[in-house]
A and B are shown apart, each in its own frame.
Chain A
Amino acid sequence: GAGVSQSPRYKVAKRGQDVALRCDPISGHVSLFWYQQALGQGPEFLTYFQNEAQLDKSGLPSDRFFAERPEGSVSTLKIQRTQQEDSAVYLCASSLAGGDKLFFGSGTQLSVL
């Protein structure tokens, strides 16, 4: 596609619900990143894929967070048993072959009530 696409744009969840956030990177981009952006803060690294391999998941805040990219293109970030502190904008970014040229999606704004 023309850019990085994320869905849904907005998600409201009740505390304890599971959610799944989708990222469709630019076609052919090898690297895919997930970031969490809390209100008034900069993006914080969550995890990184190169093709289907998850090379770094050091930023995932707890074992309730899980990300996958099974075919090396679309990625899903799943949050189990959501908590209020999970409320944030979740950003996806991709790049052609790692390195520093990142293209960001518009994000999914998650609100946990």
Chain B
Amino acid sequence: GNSVTQMEGPVTLSEEAFLTINCTYTATGYPSLFWYVQYPGEGLQLLLKATKADDKGSNKGFEATYRKETTSFHLEKGSVQVSDSAVYFCALFRNTGNQFYFGTGTSLTVIP
């Protein structure tokens, strides 16, 4: 089946610290992989995506590389800011069936 497993939170970091949130997936076929972010009181927003193996998605200083050999899509940022405090969801999408599968989310709090 299709599923996403991501690192449990909550994660608390000081401003300018390095961030890694782990994500691994199980899928049939060749899914696209995503990171979504949910700020308090708002809907999910697309942060970045990668559609094939070895692709790197990047946005707002965040990066993730689609690793087929380890079935992973870890999210990284070199220097977090207070404004990055949010819940981050890893997800996969399969064209056949037109469905997203989300991880359970990782809450990040960045303290000044």
- The residues of A with any CB-CB pair to B shorter than 8 Å are 3-4, 31, 33, 35, 40-45, 48, 55-56, 91, 93, 98-107
Contacts and interface: CB of A to CB of B under 8 A. Distances in A.
- What is the predominant secondary structure among interface residues of chain B facing chain A? strand
Interface string B85-105: 000010101010111111111
Given A56-B97, A100-B34, A100-B49, A91 B102 contact: no
Contacts of B41: 106
23 contacts: A4-B43, A33-B100, A42-B4, A42-B89, A42-B102, A42-B103, A42-B104, A42-B105, A43-B89, A45-B101, A55-B98, A91-B43, A99-B95, A100-B49, A100-B93, A100-B100, A102-B46, A102-B100, A104-B36, A104-B43, A106-B42, A106-B43, A107-B43
A104 B44 contact: yes
B45 interface: yes
Contacts, number: 57
Given A91-B44, A106-B41, A48 B98 contact: yes
